[in-house]
Amino acid sequence: MSVLDDDRALIAARVRLVERIAAGDVVLSSRIAESFLNVPRHVFTPVFYRREGGDRFTPWRADDTGNAGGAWWDAVYSGESLITEVDGVHAEHAPSEGVSGVPTSSSTAPDLMADMLDALDPVPGARTLEIGTGSGYNAALLCRLVGADHVTTLDHTPHLVDTARERLEIASFAPDVVLGDGTTGWAGNAPYDRLIATASVPRIPTAWIEQCAPGAVLVVPLKGTLAGGSIAWLKKLPDGTAAGRLMHTPAAFMPLLPDTDHDVDEGAPRPAHWEPGHAGDQTRTSLLTPRVLDDWTFSFFAQLHLDPHTTRTFTRTDGRHITTLRTPDGGVTTVTETHSGAEVARSGGRDLWTPIERAHRLWLELNRPRREWFTLDAGPTGQHVRLAAPDGHAYTWTL
């Protein structure tokens, strides 16, 4: 029997999902648990990709495996993120042999969704904007929590917007699903009491803050040059600025991509998967291995010490981690892991590994500060990350 015909199997799958979320690090409130129990994820993800290794993905459909005990259903309700689009090719349109590339849309891991929804405090009636509709599953949860009439969700991909709208209707929700560039928010239904982004930004677009009402809560994944992902929780203040902190939760959301209809900021940080280039007419050794950047809390901290236009690529060759840093003025520094630290090779301009070494020394002096100790504020003088150290020293970095 297909699970589509078997309500009990479907309910059991959703109960298992909620139990999995509750068993993790997330504090699952009864309202958020209720929304996960009542919104079917499979309606929003009828086809998604399986990673076959490296950058190769093959589509996986519900009917490939059939019944409620099947691996497909387990995957949908497993708590994993489900990749639905690779380099703009939706899993529904992919050839059966698959595609190669970089994921550009996914249904986020439910435990991370639960954590972000809890932080958002989606009270009934709160006017809510979601940036990054994707599959529409998170929008459906928002509809359940605040009421569909109060939800606006936006994506820049026409196919995603159309299919999410259809699937939300199947699940009996009719929020405003709009096509647009998330960077500029959506003034149409402003002001908002809640704003949640499910794609990451290096800093918070000012339109998002402007379109929120005083007292609004914003939950926004931040990811910059070094891909050290964090989530910002902010409250809009009566003076029009916003202030808050970083959440405890690490998060590596895919980046909010520049819209092709708009000007591309050539200096903006690029995703950290781009192919590394070759560098090196000056070399030195370093005691700091590039593997330190695998620690997302440190890499978030380190990127606060870099020119924001620095880009990073990384790869592994013969098991060795190699990070390449570049600046728009042509500076390239390649850092290759060695037994004792790293070999640093640079060509053109500054040594781009030096600020990261300095950041690491400060990081150790500060006893590896936890992510949630950092505060964040955004106003007319810019966006700042701050840390009050136990010795009373106050640190400020520009985001």
Ligand X SMILES: C[S@@+](CC[C@H](N)C(=O)[O-])C[C@H]1O[C@@H](n2cnc3c(N)ncnc32)[C@H](O)[C@@H]1O
Name residue 133's amino acid: T
Identity of the residue, 135 or 286, whose beta carbon is nearer to ligand X in the bound complex: 135
For the stretch 287-298, what's the b/e string if a residue is b when 16 or more beta carbons lie within 10 angstroms of its beta carbon? Answer: ebbbebbeebbb
Site size for ligand X (CB under 6 A):
25
Q: Could you give the CA distance from residue 337 to residue 314 in angstroms, rounded to a whole number?
A: 11
With CB atoms as reference, the residue minimizing the distance to ligand X is: 134
Binding mask 92-111 for ligand X (x = CB under 6 A): ------------xxxxx---
Residue 128 lies near ligand X (rule: CB under 6 A): no
Identity of the residue, 134 or 276, whose beta carbon is nearer to ligand X in the bound complex: 134
Residue 35 lies near ligand X (rule: CB under 6 A): no
Q: Contact with ligand X (CB under 6 A): which of 10, 257, 362, 389?
A: 257
CB 118, min distance to ligand X, A: 16
Q: Contact with ligand X (CB under 6 A): which of 256, 279, 376, 385?
A: 256
Residue 205 lies near ligand X (rule: CB under 6 A): no
Q: Contact with ligand X (CB under 6 A): which of 35, 183, 299, 311?
A: 183
Type and span of the H or E element at 355: helix 354-365
- Report DSSP state, residue 276: P
Identity of the residue, 178 or 237, whose beta carbon is nearer to ligand X in the bound complex: 178
CB 193, min distance to ligand X, A: 19
Specify whether the CB–CB gap between 274 and 396 falls below 8 A: no
Identity of the residue, 106 or 383, whose beta carbon is nearer to ligand X in the bound complex: 106
Report which of 166, 170, 120 is spatially closest to residue 142, judged by C-alpha positions: 120
Q: Could you give the CA distance from residue 373 to residue 383 in angstroms, rounded to a whole number?
A: 17
What crossing angle do the helices spanning 137-146 and 30-38 adopt, rounded to 10°?
A: 130
Helix (H, G, I), strand (E, B) or coil at 32: helix
**Start-to-end CA span in the chain (Å):** 54
Q: Could you give the CA distance from residue 20 to residue 52 in angstroms, rounded to a whole number?
A: 25
Residue 115 lies near ligand X (rule: CB under 6 A): no
Q: Contact with ligand X (CB under 6 A): which of 155, 337, 351, 357?
A: 155
- Report DSSP state, residue 2: B
- Residues lying near ligand X in the complex (CB under 6 A) are found at 104-108, 132, 134-135, 137-138, 154-157, 160, 181-183, 198-199, 253-254, 256-257, 259
